[in-house]
Amino acid sequence: MLKGQAAIYPGSFDPVTNGHLDVIQRAARIFNRVIVAVADNSSKKPLLSIQERVDLLTEVTKGIKNVSVETFSALVIDYARKKKINVLIRGLRMTSDFDYEFQIALTNRRLAQDIETVFLMPSEHVSFVSSSLLKEVAGLNADISSFVPKAVERKLKERLNHD
């Protein structure tokens, strides 16, 4: 563990998946404190409200004592500076994520040289799960229980009117 070091894991988490949770658990083993920062991005059309995403993340991370959940609506580097944290966590599921995440990391570095991005890979069994794909298959009433925590499965069934 990096003594005294904190990190921010930003994202939309719409919804949080087992892949996200795996990255959160990995980050919590490395850093003394991890803030899961839920982006309130008005340009995206989320399925779940910002409060629902925060509530779900709070519920599924309640057993991880050094993790907290917050929202932010500014540039993530501005949020990090406000929190006095200089490490951002980004998850890499597949190699296809790398190009996009690399662009974001380099842009953030250009805007804030004092903030570093650390990439973490989830376990193989959850590395292919994306929130977008998950919402699509959940909308078709597929069994998503192996992709998301139980609380998220319940919320998606409720939201998508599946019994």
pLDDT band at 4 (very low <50, low <70, confident <90, very high): low
Q: How far apart are CA 64 and CA 62, in angstroms?
A: 6
CB 67 within 8 A of CB 22: no
Q: What is the structure's pLDDT at 61?
A: 97
Instruction: Indicate the pLDDT class of residue 159, thresholds 50, 70 and 90.
Output: confident
Give 162's pLDDT tier (boundaries 50, 70, 90).
low
What pTM value is reported for the model? 0.91
Mean pLDDT on 119-148: 85
DSSP calls for 12-81: --TT--HHHHHHHHHHHHHEEEEEEEEE--TTS--SS-HHHHHHHHHHHTTT-TTEEEEEE-S-HHHHHH
What proportion of the chain, given as a percentage, has pLDDT over 70?
95
Q: Is residue 29 predicted with pLDDT exceeding 60?
A: yes
**Residues catalogued as catalytic:** 20, 44, 93, 131
61-79: average pLDDT:
96
CA distance 67 to 103: 27
Write down the residue that tokens 């599921």 correspond to.
Answer: 93
Domain ranges across the chain: 2-159
Which of 3.40.50.620, 3.75.10.10, 3.40.50.720, 3.90.1170.40 would CATH assign to domain 2-159? Answer: 3.40.50.620
Q: What is the mean pLDDT of the chain?
A: 90
The answer to whether the CB of 144 falls within 8 A of the CB of 137 is yes
Q: Using CA of residue 72, residue 108, residue 82, residue 9, what is the dihedral sign?
A: positive
* Token pair of 93 as six digits: 């599921």
CB atoms within 10 A of CB 2: 11
